Amino acid sequence: MLNKRDLVYKIVASIPKGKVVTYGQIARLTGLNARVVGNYLHNSPDPKKIPCHRVVNYQGKLAANYAFGGARSQRLKLEEEGLNIIKEGKVDLEEYLWKNAGKFTQRLVKT
């Protein structure tokens, strides 16, 4: 069975290109606080395999303190994946939110 930190990393590693999840979404799926999720991602052991840039806040805003190059770096990575960043450094959650994260997590927890 995965510990909570590894479960967070597995979920984030599985977010499809062109989609995002929120810290709160991951928190609900794992039973953690959203700030704890953010802390885990800030200290990610492998940002190339764990695409932390695909995690945004509940409003779709990019992380002001994105640990791997700041908000500009997060924005560029998301734009490279085809996401349109709207005013105030936000993504449109209606369009880009990964809605199947819950089903994916249920499969992870069962294995």
pLDDT at position 105 is 64
Q: Are 85 and 79 in contact (CB under 8 A)?
A: yes
Residue 11 tokens read as 């979920």
Query: Among 12, 29, 52, 78, which one carries the catalytic annotation?
Result: 52
Tell me the mean pLDDT in the region 21-28: 96
In this predicted structure, the answer to whether residue 108 has a pLDDT above a threshold of 90 is: no
Query: Rounded to whole angstroms, what are the CA distances from 6 to 93, 100, 109?
Result: 25, 19, 11
Give the Cα separation of 84 and 76 in Å (integer). Answer: 10
The residue extents of the domains of the chain are: 4-98
Fold classification of 4-98 is Arc Repressor Mutant, subunit A (1.10.10)
Q: How confident is the model at residue 110 (pLDDT cuts 50, 70, 90)?
A: low
Give the Cα separation of 86 and 35 in Å (integer). Answer: 24
Give the Cα separation of 27 and 40 in Å (integer). Answer: 11
pLDDT at position 64 is 84
More confident residue, 2 or 90: 90
pLDDT at position 70 is 85
pLDDT at position 104 is 66
Whole-prediction pTM: 0.90
Taking only the tens place, the pLDDT of each residue in 43-92 is 999 988 999 999 999 999 998 888 888 889 999 999 999 999 997 899 99
**Catalytic residue flag (residue 52):** yes
pLDDT at position 68 is 84
